[in-house]
Copies of this chain bind each other. A is one copy, B any other.
């Protein structure tokens, strides 16, 4: 009855699991499965701990065709920086989808979430961006600005990156990191309108509550991935842009209505059309997002439990292949 359980720390996971095409492919499979309608993805379990200015979210999803399912626990304790600790922590547990036995514990402190979030951006870029992208723009200067650009570069090997942020010093640091990592030109751009005008692919990666991307900036041949909004108060894209784009695609409509850019557009009375299509349907080809090089496309990413199950399954494969981590017989 005893079986082996793999345990990997964040350091071991950073070594074993890379943001590469294999990670993008497994996340793409998860989106394709979402489109089949057979994925089971319950609402997020959420608990607030007011006394500690903390909150905990638990996500899970079962995807037919994947051997395991992940349960992800994401605590956010926003007074931690005062203690010299990061606000965000957490882990993923991978269970067998056949027996429910624990297969692996990933003490990743959010690293696998970073990877699967960036991988979703690459899936969107692969299926929605114009074939030729010369310049990519990042709005935002954090971890996801770096990783979204890195992931998109794997599917659209652009030669130039522009970075805008409210803090130019941070934009410059972000651009320098990207340039070093990808070996291409990357620089901070002080004017976000010019950043968008010069880019064929833009990722918005901010926690903004007011649009950082104006509808007037849309131009033919542009793809935008908006991944910053994942809560009911956030909004990165001016709502009119969703209506004016040739195609607006959700990672999950039910989530985008509540947490994504779609929420603001609905609240503004601007979105009254059909239900948007989902990224999974674009992946499978059921819905064509981009019909021409001149189309304008927007993809709204809020983050799904299906991606967690995909990346956790992938991480176990990587760990076993690399002989990484600790094995406990339990």
Contacts and interface: CB of A to CB of B under 8 A. Distances in A.
Given A40-B48, A40-B49, A48-B40, A56 B328 contact: no
A88 to B, nearest CB: 8
A69 B49 CA distance: 10
B45 A107 contact: no
Interface stretch (A57-65, A140-148, A177-185, A197-205): A57-65
Contact of A49 (B51, B62, B86): B62
A238 B80 CA distance: 52
Contact of A71 (B40, B58, B89): B58
A71 to B, nearest CB: 6
B91 A102 contact: yes
A5 interface: yes
Nearest to A59: B45
A168 B40 CA distance: 42
A42 interface: yes
Contact of A100 (B54, B107, B328, B330): B54
A49 B66 CA distance: 12
Interface in A209-240: none
17 contacts: A7-B105, A9-B329, A10-B330, A45-B58, A45-B60, A47-B60, A52-B98, A52-B99, A56-B100, A58-B58, A73-B93, A75-B101, A77-B99, A85-B101, A102-B107, A105-B105, A107-B330
